[in-house]
Chains A and B, each alone.
Chain A
Amino acid sequence: MDDVITTRDLRKSFRSRRGPVEAVRGVSIEVRRGETFGFLGPNGAGKTTTLRMLTTLLPIDSGTATVAGFDVARQPRQVRGRIGYVSQLGGADELATGRENLILQGRLYGASRARVAPRAEALIELLDLADFADRRVVTYSGGQRRRLDIALGIVHEPSVLFLDEPSTGLDPQSRANLWDHIRALAAGGTTVFLTTHYLEEADVLCDRLMIMDHGQIVAEGTPRELKQQVAGDAISISLRAGGQSDGAAAAALAGQPYVRELADDGDGQVRLYVDDGGTALPQLIRLLDARGIGVRSISMSEPTLDDVFLRQTGRSLRDESEAPGDPGPGRKEVAA
């Protein structure tokens, strides 16, 4: 198998005031050449920490990692020359222009001035930076800046590009535009490894993905395979407040033969999975009506990655607040 990234039982702990925190607890992955691979999970799941270990930025506590044919712990220099990394922060020089940033970056990777200028020009073309490439970065919009960050990450034509939460903070239009560019890179043969807590991003971009929670991999596969784990259709019922409690609705539905799985979030919302929504829905409505359970709305959908996440972790990814983050570079963290 032609693997670009292989890890075995990767682990990392940080010291905090409340004792050691195990951020990554035994992650084993294999990423094949040319594929777009994703880590999906809520903030604080350990995605960024894993990425920072793979990119030589953080020492590995235990386990092994091989990236682009070299051992990350023993041959960091060889790894650095073959990977591109775009952090959540980006890190372009604000007082320099986009082109100046690209040229410096290319030269830090060892290219001569003569070789780096045409490469910068090609990247400006590739990522649609031409309109603002000679303006200072401080004037860029979020989406423009992100595209420059990615250009900086691939200036040396790396065999694998790491993207940490590439579209966080972008408006929907810039996000869609960024996705087009990432897909174009992947189509050109670049192996892309990205982390995201956006379901749509994982679904749209990734050939294969892993769902990560509390430092561990909880599910792995193509988006289609993962969604097929949650068989059939998903039905969301929103109950009318003041009537029967959710408990009564959940109890009534749980006994029905056509209900395969049921999640009651205790907030007037019941989500359940059935083999065939078309036949289950009328029966379900009759049942609720007979029991006198008031319904505000019912919707049916094919399972999403969120259903996969809900099934694996018992929580919804959509409900995760933005507050707890991965320990990023700006945060106080000490290798344990």
Chain B
Amino acid sequence: MKAARDIGLLFQRYAVQLLRNPVWLVVGFSTPILYLALFTPLLKNLVGDGGLPTGNVLDEFLPGILALLAFASGAGSGFSTIFELKAGVIERFRVTPASRFAILTGPILATMVMMFVFDAVVVAVGYGFGFSVHWAGLAVLGVLLGLLLIIMAAFSIATALVTKDISGFAAIINGINLPVLLLAGVLLPISLGPAWMRVIAHFNPLYYLVQASRVLAGGTLSGPAVWQAFAVLVPLCVLVLAWATQVFRRAVA
């Protein structure tokens, strides 16, 4: 009960900070739109003989963009943690009796709400260019995107608290970003790759989300890809959150 109240307070604080920092909003909005505008045209030529299934390329590509957005919003969370660490904000909160879990999750929830706003914009723009919208599928996809964002954000924030400086943190996050993105089939389906790549991809949590996102966006609510994604992301989310709360509690900041 007290944790819920603290989460609410810190959610509100972080949301206000985001809204008062227009640079963040502009960058946040422009990234997915740029992907749609500058990457989709390249895919058009791959349809059919190029190896992609026929139909509107957006139906294949847009769900991947949503997954990418969840991944990147979460992974970037630690940057503001580093900033707040340097500014003494985290320490000021840690010395209050506020719930440690709330100090961690308040900002994550605010980031999640912002992500859903961006997702809505991406879907609306995509719809204008022929993306077929299946509401129920998108709703279930939203749950999966939320899970991935929590996983990435908790991981990113905890990593920031452990490394404590921007260079060490950026090295770890960037080092993880690229292989995870490439091995998830976000931009191009992993089915285009050789067998070894498809095997490695199965160890990548993002891969399951991307697979599920295409099925769900196509309007299919059940199927192996969907339950596999839940089976991977739910336990992972619990694990990462427990670890991150532990990092906070151990008072390393």
Contact of A89 with B86 in the complex, beta carbons under 8 Å: yes
A108-B91 contact in complex given A96-B17, A332-B165, C-beta closer than 8 Å: no
Q: Is A55 an interface residue (CB 8 A)?
A: yes
A59 to B20, CA, bound (A): 36
Interface check B85, CB cutoff 8 A? yes
B253: interface (CB < 8 Å): yes
Q: How far is the CA of A95 from the CA of B14 in the complex (A)?
A: 10
A329, B88: Cβ atoms closer than 8 Å: yes
Q: Which of A81, A92, A330 contacts B97 (CB 8 A)?
A: A81
A197 an interface residue at 8 Å Cβ cutoff?
Answer: no
* Nearest A residue to B8, CB-CB: A107
Chain A proximity of B143: nearest CB distance (Å): 30
The answer to whether A331 has its CB under 8 Å from any CB of chain B is: yes
Contact partner, A329, options B16, B85, B250, Cβ 8 Å: B85
Max chain A Cβ within 10 angstroms of own Cβ: one of B89, B92, B250: B92
Q: Give, as a whole number of angstroms, the nearest-CB distance from A67 to chain B.
A: 12
Residue B251 interfacial (CB < 8 Å): yes
Q: Is the interface of A mostly helix, strand, loop or mixed?
A: loop
- Is B134's beta carbon under 8 Å from chain A? no
**How many interface residues does A have (CB within 8 Å)?**
34
**Of the residues B85, B88, B96, B164, contact of A105 by C-beta under 8 Å:** B96
Contact assessment for A87 and B88 in the assembled complex, using a CB-CB cutoff below 8 Å: yes
Collect the chain B residues with CB atoms within 8 Å of residue A55's CB.
Answer: 95
Who on chain B is nearest to A152 by CB?
B92
B17 touches A93 (CB 8 A): yes
Q: Write the residues of chain B forming the contact surface with A, with a CB cutoff of 8 angstroms.
A: 2, 6, 9, 13, 16-17, 20-21, 85-98, 164-165, 250-253
Q: Can you list 15 residue pairs at the A/B interface with Cβ under 8 Å? A: A55-B95, A56-B94, A57-B94, A57-B95, A58-B251, A80-B96, A81-B97, A83-B95, A90-B87, A90-B92, A95-B16, A100-B16, A108-B93, A108-B98, A109-B96
Interface residues of A (CB under 8 A from B): 55-59, 77, 80-81, 83, 85, 87-96, 100, 104-105, 107-110, 152, 329-332, 334-335
